């Protein structure tokens, strides 16, 4: 028998936040608890029928069963280019400024491998989607946390980054509308980011996954519509949240041709691209009937208002989000993030994500996802009230 020892890079990783949530949910369910899961942001709404029908049609085509191209079908990348033109007024060349991804998470996880050497610094927001820091560590880089604080509208204060850190920094991750805080970003902020990137020679990687999941007629700006953005960065996007396609694993990165080329070279050595029938369905998602987006926004607006209104009646301080399907709020006085989330599960059978699981600046907050029916959200509020929080 041989000795099996994990690599140092794995030993350094904390438990993946959502895997730990899955474990706690399973434990509660094994005790017979009727769990209301507001933890992970996985849409419960079905993928629209026109997209499913297009997949079924394309899957019967033998030509789509062979190896796909590494960078994505030209037709899919052209559809992405047209989407950017309609959505943000941004002109993109399908080749070389767009690359398809097996979900945006895959691209986010791989981009540091293309540009980060051991010891290089990557500026990552905190609290944040854990993959930004984890991907940096896998590449041998050093994540430097940029705190997202309420007093700064959950935007990083770039002026607080020390000069010695800036001297080693090569990349910055951003994500707006933001997960987990649901905060929006302004065009003025993005202009500041472009100037900062040019001054310090730092490439920007913006995660735009929640761009269409919005409330009250809010339209989030794309980073790429900022003057100069195409010279300093790229934007990641996905069909997962917009069209309820999390399991399909299809997305893209767009922007600077030089950065896209580096990511594409990594991908060509690691994966074999996206099943082309799924890319055909992705074209239908981007260019077919868009009534599904209005319907989705109406459903999530009703859910948001039930949860936010219910929590406010209980005396919990919570602001209604302008985008994403997350509600981010400060825990009641006397609790920490983890203790409040644990008591929610223990007393109410509700899974919420502790804010500090996304990074230490998230301490004192929890995140709830609007990914259950309005009836279950109303029941969640009722359970919290009965628990006496």
Is residue 30 domain-shared with residue 96, that is, in the same domain? no
Residue 27 has pLDDT above 90, yes or no: no
Q: What tokens were used for 147?
A: 């705190």
Instruction: Let me know if residue 3 belongs to a domain.
Output: no
For residue 24, what pLDDT band results from cuts at 50, 70 and 90? Answer: confident
Instruction: Let me know if residue 104 belongs to a domain.
Output: yes
Instruction: Let me know if residue 142 belongs to a domain.
Output: yes
List pLDDT tens digits, range 273-297.
999 999 999 999 999 999 999 999 9
Evaluate if pTM is beyond 0.75: yes
List pLDDT tens digits, range 121-133.
999 999 999 999 9
Instruction: Let me know if residue 14 belongs to a domain.
Output: yes
Spatial CB neighbours of 126, under 8 Å, sequence gap ≥ 6? 133, 145, 146, 147, 148, 358, 359, 360, 361, 362
Q: Looking at residues 59-64, what average pLDDT do you find? A: 97
Of 259, 287, 315, which closes a domain?
287
Is residue 114 domain-shared with residue 248, that is, in the same domain? yes
Of 265, 287, 309, which closes a domain?
287
Q: Looking at residues 73-99, what average pLDDT do you find? A: 98
For residue 265, what pLDDT band results from cuts at 50, 70 and 90? Answer: very high
Instruction: Let me know if residue 1 belongs to a domain.
Output: no
Residue 63 has pLDDT above 90, yes or no: yes
State the pLDDT at residue 282: 98
State the pLDDT at residue 33: 84
Is residue 330 domain-shared with residue 268, that is, in the same domain? no
CB 242 within 8 A of CB 46: no
Instruction: Let me know if residue 383 belongs to a domain.
Output: yes
Q: Looking at residues 87-106, what average pLDDT do you find? A: 97
Is residue 148 domain-shared with residue 171, that is, in the same domain? yes
Is residue 221 domain-shared with residue 118, that is, in the same domain? yes
Is residue 78 domain-shared with residue 227, that is, in the same domain? yes
Is residue 65 domain-shared with residue 39, that is, in the same domain? no
State the pLDDT at residue 11: 87
CATH value at residue 110: 3.40.640.10
Q: Total domain count for the chain?
A: 2
State the pLDDT at residue 12: 84
Is residue 254 domain-shared with residue 265, that is, in the same domain? yes
Q: Looking at residues 51-60, what average pLDDT do you find? A: 98
State the pLDDT at residue 386: 92
Name the percent of the chain lying above pLDDT 70: 99
Of 287, 316, 340, which closes a domain?
287
List pLDDT tens digits, range 219-251.
999 999 999 999 999 999 999 999 999 999 999
Is residue 154 domain-shared with residue 299, that is, in the same domain? no
Is residue 186 domain-shared with residue 327, that is, in the same domain? no
Question: What average pLDDT does the structure give for the chain?
Answer: 95
For residue 56, what pLDDT band results from cuts at 50, 70 and 90? Answer: very high
CB 251 within 8 A of CB 237: yes
Instruction: Let me know if residue 2 belongs to a domain.
Output: no
Q: Looking at residues 69-73, what average pLDDT do you find? A: 91
Q: Looking at residues 43-67, what average pLDDT do you find? A: 97
CATH value at residue 29: 3.90.1150.10
Is residue 366 domain-shared with residue 232, that is, in the same domain? no
Residue 354 has pLDDT above 90, yes or no: yes
List pLDDT tens digits, range 369-383.
999 999 999 999 999
Structural domain containing residue 129: 49-287
Is residue 255 domain-shared with residue 322, that is, in the same domain? no
Q: Looking at residues 143-163, what average pLDDT do you find? A: 98
């Amino acid at each position: 028998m041989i000795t099996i020892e994990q690599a140092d890079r794995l030993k350094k990783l904390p438990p993946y936040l959502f895997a730990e949530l899955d474990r706690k949910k399973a434990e509660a369910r094994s005790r017979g608890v009727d769990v209301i899961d507001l933890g992970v942001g996985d849409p419960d709404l079905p993928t629209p029928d026109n997209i499913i029908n297009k997949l079924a049609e394309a899957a019967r085509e033998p030509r789509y069963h062979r190896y796909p191209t590494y960078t994505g079908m030209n037709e899919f990348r052209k559809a992405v280019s047209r989407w950017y033109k309609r959505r943000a007024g941004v002109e993109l060349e399908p080749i070389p400024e767009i690359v398809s991804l097996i979900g945006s998470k895959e691209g986010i996880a791989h981009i540091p491998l293309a540009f980060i050497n051991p010891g290089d610094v990557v500026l990552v927001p905190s609290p944040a989607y854990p993959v930004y820091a984890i991907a940096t560590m896998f590449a041998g880089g050093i994540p430097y946390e940029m705190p997202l604080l309420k007093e700064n509208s959950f935007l990083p204060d770039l002026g607080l980054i020390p000069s010695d850190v800036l001297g080693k920094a090569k990349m910055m991750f951003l994500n707006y509308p933001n997960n987990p805080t649901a905060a929006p970003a302004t065009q003025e902020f993005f202009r500041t980011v472009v100037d900062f990137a040019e001054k310090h020679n730092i490439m920007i990687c913006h995660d735009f996954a929640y761009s269409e999941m919005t409330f009250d007629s809010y339209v989030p700006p794309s980073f790429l519509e900022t003057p100069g953005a195409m010279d300093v960065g790229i934007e990641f996007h996905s069909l997962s949240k917009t069209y309820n396609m999390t399991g399909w694993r299809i997305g893209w990165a767009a922007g600077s041709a030089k950065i896209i080329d580096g990511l594409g070279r990594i991908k060509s050595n690691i994966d074999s691209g996206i099943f082309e029938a799924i890319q055909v369905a992705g074209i239908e998602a981007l260019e077919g009937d868009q009534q599904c987006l209005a319907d989705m926004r109406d459903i999530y607006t009703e859910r948001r208002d039930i949860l936010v209104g219910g929590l406010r009646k209980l005396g919990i301080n919570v602001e209604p989000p302008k985008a994403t399907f997350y509600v981010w709020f400060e825990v009641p006085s006397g609790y920490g993030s983890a203790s409040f989330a644990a008591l929610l599960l223990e007393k109410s059978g509700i899974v919420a994500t502790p804010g500090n699981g996304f990074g230490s600046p998230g301490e004192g907050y929890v995140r709830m996802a609007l990914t259950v029916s309005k009836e279950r959200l109303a029941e969640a509020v009722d359970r919290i009230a009965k628990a006496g929080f």
